[in-house]
């Protein structure tokens, strides 16, 4: 039975487990190694039962636990060429040169249980990606850190049974945030920034129409959003399209830090 387990999700830390109790993969390692280890234990899974780690991009909220993970495990690591180069060049202390990172864009991952492919996402990094995971007869996507929905993103997300999709900020809350500079606001709302609640809701309607039954809103800003705000935006928009929560789809919000809840796909 396929499960998606958001370990942590916010502008500060991101990591997601996909698999079943005792076996799976990780997408990103944005919290500490200890937090990753302790969180997996909540679903009776150890780090030794993780068969691969997939990195979306090199920002610290996605790779914070990577150094310790390379020291304490032999889990193979996969990412894009641009992210691999950035990890070597810009955050060299995060990952030693002797640790090999495989280029998942040119060699999609396939094992006895998993098939993982990557697709480009528009973000302010050299080569940020999202992932589509085929496991246990299900198709699951994780897609965060993107300023807009491109044709490539849409093509990869449509038809997935479950999607963890960024719903980062509420435009009104961002505009009123006195702690954010004009440049920072422009970056967040730009085409290589983050996805707004409204943009996420628009994509959510397309996803449900294509057969998606599980929607997980992720990477919410703790300063410019709330779970209730994000969920209401998506639910209201889908309702306007004749799509009803808990009938046509299940809607969840990924937690800032898990307490052990997973979503069955």
Q: How is the chain split into domains, by residue range? A: 3-256
- Mean pLDDT score across all residues of the chain: 96
Strand order in the sheet with 14-20: 101-103, 77-79, 50-54, 23-27, 14-20, 3-9, 263-264
Q: Read off the tokens for 239.
A: 């309702």
Contact between 159 and 228 (Cβ < 8 Å): no
Q: What is the pLDDT of residues 214-226, one digit of tens each?
A: 999 999 999 999 9
Q: What is the pLDDT of residues 108-135, one digit of tens each?
A: 999 999 999 999 999 999 999 999 999 9
Residue 256: CA atoms inside 13 Å, Cβ hemisphere, count?
8
**How far is residue 87's CA from residue 125's CA, in Å, rounded to a whole number?**
11
Q: What is the pLDDT of residues 151-185, one digit of tens each?
A: 999 999 999 999 999 999 999 999 999 999 999 99
Question: CATH for 3-256, among 3.20.20.150, 3.60.15.10, 3.40.50.280, 3.40.50.300?
Answer: 3.60.15.10
Nearest to 249 by CA among 209, 199, 189, 222: 209
Q: What was the pLDDT predicted at 91?
A: 58
Question: β-pairing, 138-143 with 162-166?
Answer: parallel
């Amino acid at each position: 039975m396929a499960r998606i387990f958001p370990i942590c999700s916010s502008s500060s830390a991101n990591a997601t487990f996909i698999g079943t109790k005792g076996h799976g993969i990780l997408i990103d390692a944005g919290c500490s190694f200890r937090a990753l280890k302790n969180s997996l234990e909540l679903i009776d899974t150890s780090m030794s039962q993780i068969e691969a780690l997939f990195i979306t991009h090199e920002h610290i909220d996605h790779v914070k636990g990577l150094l310790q993970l390379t020291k304490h495990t032999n889990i193979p690591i996969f990412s894009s060429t641009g992210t691999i180069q950035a990890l070597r060049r810009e955050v060299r202390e995060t990952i030693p040169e002797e640790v090999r990172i495989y280029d998942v864009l040119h060699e999609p991952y396939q094992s006895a249980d998993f098939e993982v492919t990557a697709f480009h996402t528009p973000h302010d990094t050299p080569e940020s990606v999202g992932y589509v995971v085929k496991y246990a007869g299900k198709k699951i996507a994780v897609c965060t850190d993107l300023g807009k929905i491109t044709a490539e993103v849409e093509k990869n997300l449509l038809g997935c049974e479950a999607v963890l999709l960024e719903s980062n900020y509420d435009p009104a809350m961002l505009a009123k945030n006195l702690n954010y500079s004009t440049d920072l606001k422009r970056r967040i709302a730009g085409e290589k920034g983050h996805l707004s609640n409204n943009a996420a809701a628009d994509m959510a309607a397309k996803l449900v129409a294509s057969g998606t039954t599980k929607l997980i809103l992720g990477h919410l800003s703790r300063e410019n959003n709330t779970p209730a705000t994000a969920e209401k935006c998506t639910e209201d928009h889908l309702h306007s399209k004749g799509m009803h929560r808990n009938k046509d789809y299940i809607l969840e919000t990924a937690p800032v830090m898990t307490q052990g809840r997973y979503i069955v796909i």
